[in-house]
Amino acid sequence: MKKYKIINLDCPNCAQSLQKNLQKQDFIQDVMIDFSTSTIFLDTQDLERAKKLIGELEEGVEIQEWDQAHQSSSTLSEVIFLGILLASFALSFFISIPILAQFMLYTIYIVAGFPVFKGAYKRLKNKQFFDENFLMFFATIAAFFIGADFEAVAVMLFFRIGEFFENLAVRKSRKNIQSLIDLSPSYAWKKQENGELVKIFPKDLQVGDIVVVKSGEKIPSDGIITQGQSELEEKMINGEPLPRFCKVGDHVFGGSINLLGVLEIQITTPYDKSGISQIISLIDQASMQKSQSERRITEFSKVYTPCVFAIALMIAILPPLFGYGSFHDWIYRALVILMVSCPCALVLSVPLGYFGGIGGASKHGILIKGSNYLEALNQIKFIAFDKTGTLTQGEFEISQIVSFGKYTQEEILRIAMCAEHLSSHPIARSLQKSTQNLPITHHPISHDQIAGKGMSANCCNQRVLAGNKALLESFGITPPQEEIKGTVIYVALQEECIGYIILKDALKKNAKDCIQKLHHMGIETMILSGDQTSSVEEVAQELGIKKAYGGLLPQEKLETFQKYRKEKSAFIGDGINDAPVLSSADVGISMGIGGSDLSKESSDVVLANDDLSKLITALNIAKKTKTITIQNIIFALGVKGIFIVLGIFGFAGMWEAVFGDVGVSLLALANASRILK
């Protein structure tokens, strides 16, 4: 499906209705509308026909290419138009000629209600009877029939004014949310061979192009600095508040802001595959994964409005039939109930609240791939951690090299690097870093990374193995039987174990504090690692984690996790061997910098800068989002319930009914916007 911007769609019920009608069309294969972000995902054989149909179903609504979209700004004209109507309404009070005053009222009603009439007609045409346009049209026409002309006009006029402010609030909320995740650079200065700078779109950059980034500008895509040095603000990429100093040779990320001098950067990744593009794509897709609360509210609204309409009908008919008051009084009360009944406050504020939570999380360097995962985070009772690169820094240092027989320590390193020098695993990267100044050359024929075990390579016509005990045993080699503390890399050559390398790995700076806070929140923790059992137990003891299992293969990790998992459980890891558990968990959480591509694809939440303190932030954001959502549901239903009761007993009129509809929507929307802070 292709993504488009949908313009001038400011009603959540209208969005649902439009999506439902489009799904019925045979020339549209698939369609999904995200009201929170004004986005429509559309798969159609005839785009022009789809555009025309959208305009017919919803007056003034159109779709535009995402890169070229612009919201039509008619705010000033709307204010002038509504001001003239309001002034005319006030003037009708002072006109002493009844016929003229009546004519003015009817004119105001028709002009103010014209969009409502059109909307009601289209709903009736599509056999959809219970949206706000139909209810408002029905209620005001019925008010004319019982002689409440002035109130009918007033309600229609103030309904339009309320809608204006509601739409204004929706647009502002969307703008605030989008500003949190507006990471994408809008242009790039490409350097030509003659030194001339050409302004182009980032998507048009090719690998190898040189771009110039001036002070205050965003880096257009991932690359390497070839000239200059500066401090880069990466807060919107990974949530890190402190700028990072970068110089020639350093890798930089698209979307980072250059704070100081001029940089020349060689592009290493096409824009559509860059980190910034993937982050934006994740956030766009996140809003399509609806939470249970959103789905329940949508289903509830389909039942709620018809039920209220039926109740209003019974209130209008039954009491006077049994001799309790006149039809005039009870019909008026029923009309009040109809005006209050629109569920816009719920349908509008709940999804915006969740998307605000996702946007707020992204501001802190936390990428949540859907409202359903944000909701699930609030229910987590058990979290299992991988060790290396998750709880520990994953930057190992060699503490000891043990050789068996004729091989020197340097030869053990050289042979190990024959297997490890092309691997991206944290252990392999640490060995590569430790041996970068040694005169070691490699002539590999083949490399195989065996998940959860290590590396196998054919180098100089000899098979080299570097990994844990399980790797050696899988090739029929018996490793040393003594228990060795720390992270151990066994090295084998031609079916013989020739030595091992002991590595040490420090804890991440926020790991201990994170675990303590999780325990304080009542969340159980566990470590599941492929590393040596002794090393895993040592880390667990230092962090205060009671359950820890080491020496696990990917399948064993998954089996152990499923054995101990609670009703809502999460797993945090960064390696290829963590992917099965990440996919199995209710919420899979991966590391953004140190994590493998597979782990990030398999996860539901990505901690962009690998900072474990962001896990606590994510849980707090999830809790706040849920709290605000519940507040809005209780507030909207509570206020509407109160006005319905007051309407039944004759204590609330049509004026109060307008507040019960539009006013509640505005207040619920304002409450939902608190999640952005």
Distance CA 385, CA 332 (A): 62
Does residue 386 have an active-site annotation? yes
Distance CA 64, CA 298 (A): 27
Q: Which residues pair with 198 in a beta bridge?
A: 190
427 neighbors 449 (Cβ within 8 angstroms): no
The two tokens of residue 161 are 């004014």
CA pseudo-torsion sign 417, 419, 422, 426: negative
Q: In sequence order, which ranges of 75-215 are alpha helices (DSSP H)?
A: 75-94, 98-125, 132-145, 149-180
92 neighbors 105 (Cβ within 8 angstroms): yes
Distance CA 335, CA 139 (A): 5
Distance CA 637, CA 625 (A): 18
Give CA separation, 99 vs 86, 88, 154, 156, 671, in Å: 19, 15, 18, 20, 45
Task: Say which residue the tokens 């962009």 belong to.
Answer: 608
379 neighbors 291 (Cβ within 8 angstroms): no
Distance CA 467, CA 40 (A): 49
How are beta strands 2-7 and 62-65 bridged, if at all? Answer: antiparallel
* Closest to 62 (Cα-Cα) out of 3, 119, 6, 122: 6
SS3 149: helix
The two tokens of residue 24 are 């019925």
Please list, in sequence order, all residues whose beta carbon lies within 8 angstroms of the beta carbon of residue 235, skipping any fewer than 6 positions away. 241, 365
60 neighbors 53 (Cβ within 8 angstroms): no
186 neighbors 219 (Cβ within 8 angstroms): no
Q: In sequence order, which ranges of 495-612 are alpha helices (DSSP H)?
A: 511-520, 533-543, 554-564, 579-584, 597-602
DSSP string, 8-47: S---HHHHHHHHHHHHT-TTEEEEEEEGGGTEEEEEES-H
Task: Say which residue the tokens 């159109």 belong to.
Answer: 62
DSSP conformation class of 659: I
Candidate list 386, 505, 578, 610, residue with the active-site label = 386
For 404, phi then psi, to 5°, come to -105, 120
The two tokens of residue 541 are 């003891």
Distance CA 102, CA 151 (A): 13
* Closest to 632 (Cα-Cα) out of 379, 354, 338: 354
Neighbours of 425 (CB within 10 A): 22
46 neighbors 100 (Cβ within 8 angstroms): no
Distance CA 96, CA 660 (A): 33
- Which residues have a catalytic role annotated? 386
